[in-house]
């Protein structure tokens, strides 16, 4: 290796007759400099300094990176401070690290075990929630009722604008698509049936459930996750208060009560949204409303209402569950919020499919 310009860090290698590699380092070594590359073969290395003017931790870091695996490393010719800097890194061992490489099979196995235990924790949380509700009914649970009224406000009333907007647009889009198709067979009057029935049975509840997941689940996961980080849930346990009863039950109850009301509101607004498109097309307001009211039966209303109760429960539970198992870090809280929304929406869609099968069996 050739000499670098004066002042710049350099390293050159020479292999002696006995097989020992002698590495000479010199120049000025600074954190901002590009350091020399070196290839040393063999298991005996002696490092010497030549014209070594100045160095910071870049030189010991370079020596540590290049020679830490060499079997016989001789640093005795280096300045004592440099020797100690390299030896400090080599010798600094603490017994509390247990790192080991994991193979693919072990990683797969770990993933399997963690996934199954995650499902186990989810069912356990559902069980705790059910027990919490039962204890609340018999008056034995310690429930934070001030949280309950606050959640009625934040998960219910505060959600009205976004529910109205999305409900209105959903009705509008359905009416628009329906109008185009039904016009081809001269049955545009049935746009009102399509919109009102779809909103009542399906879309009102589904859209509200999804909004609750995006809005409320994530908020609950963040709140409870942050409480986990700051050990507030541990403090509750230490006081003999069950965090599920105290924190999750009022939230789940509030959302389970508010989502059906929001769903009814979304349905009403959705039907109005459909009316605007339908009336801009071929129908009069009177025609549309008469047809819409005729299409909605009590059974259809009941189907949508029952679904919205379930969706409200799922959205709130997903947030509380993911928050309660969040890792104790900022990253963990973020992950909890994301996974709460994903879990809630997935469960809502799955349960919607199950409802479709069940209601079909009972001719609802």
Does residue 4 interact with other proteins by CB under 8 A?
A: no
Per-position x/- string for 151-190, each x denoting binding to other proteins as judged by CB under 8 A, each - no binding: ----------------------------------------
- Those residues whose C-beta lies under 8 Å from the C-beta of residue 27, and which sit 6 or more positions away, are 4, 6, 7, 8, 9, 10, 51, 52, 53
Phi and psi (nearest 5°) for 29? -105, 115
Q: Name the strand (E) or helix (H) holding 61.
A: helix 58-67
Q: For other proteins, which stretch binds (CB under 8 A), given 28-36, 147-155, 276-284, 302-310?
A: 28-36
Choose which of 1, 12, 40, 56 interacts with other proteins (CB under 8 A). 56
Nearer to other proteins, 61 or 276 (CB): 61
Q: What is the DSSP letter of 248?
A: I
Instruction: Give the binding-site size for other proteins (rule: CB under 8 A).
Output: 33
Q: Give the nearest distance from C-beta 9 to other proteins in angstroms.
A: 11
Nearer to other proteins, 180 or 331 (CB): 331
Does residue 34 interact with other proteins by CB under 8 A?
A: yes
For other proteins, the binding residues in 300-359 under the rule CB under 8 A are 327-332, 334
Q: What is the DSSP letter of 234?
A: H
Does residue 57 interact with other proteins by CB under 8 A?
A: yes
Return the bridge partners of 300, or none: none
For other proteins, the binding residues in 90-109 under the rule CB under 8 A are 90, 92-94, 96-99
Spatial CA neighbour of 307 closest among 266, 251, 248: 266
Q: Can you tell me which residue has the tokens 């809280």?
A: 333
Q: Is the dihedral of CA 48, 51, 57, 58 positive or negative?
A: negative
3-state helix, strand, coil in the chain (%, to 5): 70, 10, 20
Does residue 31 interact with other proteins by CB under 8 A?
A: yes
Choose which of 81, 104, 361, 363 interacts with other proteins (CB under 8 A). 81
Nearer to other proteins, 151 or 324 (CB): 324
Nearer to other proteins, 30 or 299 (CB): 30
Does residue 60 interact with other proteins by CB under 8 A?
A: yes
Nearer to other proteins, 34 or 363 (CB): 34
What the block records as the tokens of 327 is 């890792």
What the block records as the tokens of 205 is 């509840």
Nearer to other proteins, 59 or 203 (CB): 59
What the block records as the tokens of 225 is 């996750």
Q: Give the nearest distance from C-beta 12 to other proteins in angstroms.
A: 19
Q: Give the nearest distance from C-beta 85 to other proteins in angstroms.
A: 5
Q: Give the nearest distance from C-beta 96 to other proteins in angstroms.
A: 6
Pairing of strands 10-15, 21-29: antiparallel
Nearer to other proteins, 13 or 87 (CB): 87
Per-position x/- string for 235-274, each x denoting binding to other proteins as judged by CB under 8 A, each - no binding: ----------------------------------------
In DSSP notation, 321-349 reads HHHHT--SSHHHHHHHHHHHHHHHHHHHH
Q: Is 93 helix (H, G, I), strand (E, B) or coil?
A: coil
> CA Rg, the chain, in Å?
34
């Amino acid at each position: 290796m050739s000499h670098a310009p004066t002042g710049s860090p350099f390293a050159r290698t020479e292999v002696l007759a006995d097989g020992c590699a002698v590495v000479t380092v010199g120049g000025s070594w600074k954190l901002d400099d590009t350091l020399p590359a070196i290839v040393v073969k063999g298991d005996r290395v002696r490092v010497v300094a030549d014209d070594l003017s100045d160095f910071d931790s870049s030189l010991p870091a370079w020596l540590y990176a290049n020679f830490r695996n060499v079997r016989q490393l001789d640093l005795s010719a280096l300045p004592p401070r440099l020797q100690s800097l390299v030896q400090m890194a080599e010798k600094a061992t603490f017994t509390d690290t247990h790192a080991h490489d994991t193979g693919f099979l072990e990683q797969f196995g770990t993933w399997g075990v963690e996934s199954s235990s995650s499902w186990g924790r989810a069912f356990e949380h559902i069980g705790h929630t059910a027990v919490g509700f039962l204890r609340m009914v018999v008056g034995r649970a310690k429930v934070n009722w001030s949280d309950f009224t606050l959640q009625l406000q934040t998960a219910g009333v505060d959600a009205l604008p976004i529910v109205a907007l999305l409900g209105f647009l959903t009705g509008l889009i359905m009416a628009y698509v329906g109008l185009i198709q039904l016009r081809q067979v001269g049955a545009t009057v049935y746009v009102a049936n399509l919109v009102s029935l779809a909103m009542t049975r399906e879309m009102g509840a589904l859209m509200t459930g999804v909004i609750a997941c995006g809005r409320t689940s994530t908020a609950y996961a963040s709140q409870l996750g942050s409480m986990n980080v700051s050990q507030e849930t541990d403090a509750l346990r230490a006081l003999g208060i069950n965090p599920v009863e105290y924190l999750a039950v009022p939230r789940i109850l509030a959302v389970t009560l508010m989502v059906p009301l929001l769903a009814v509101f979304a349905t009403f607004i959705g039907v109005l949204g459909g009316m605007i498109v339908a009336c801009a097309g071929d129908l009069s307001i009177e025609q549309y409303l008469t047809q819409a009211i005729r299409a909605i039966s009590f059974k259809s209303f009941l189907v949508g209402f029952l679904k919205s109760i379930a969706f409200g429960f799922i959205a709130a539970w997903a947030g509380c569950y993911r928050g309660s198992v969040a890792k104790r870090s900022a990253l963990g809280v973020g992950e909890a919020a994301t996974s709460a929304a994903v879990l809630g929406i997935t469960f809502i869609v799955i349960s919607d499919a199950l409802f479709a099968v069940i209601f079909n069996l009972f001719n609802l």
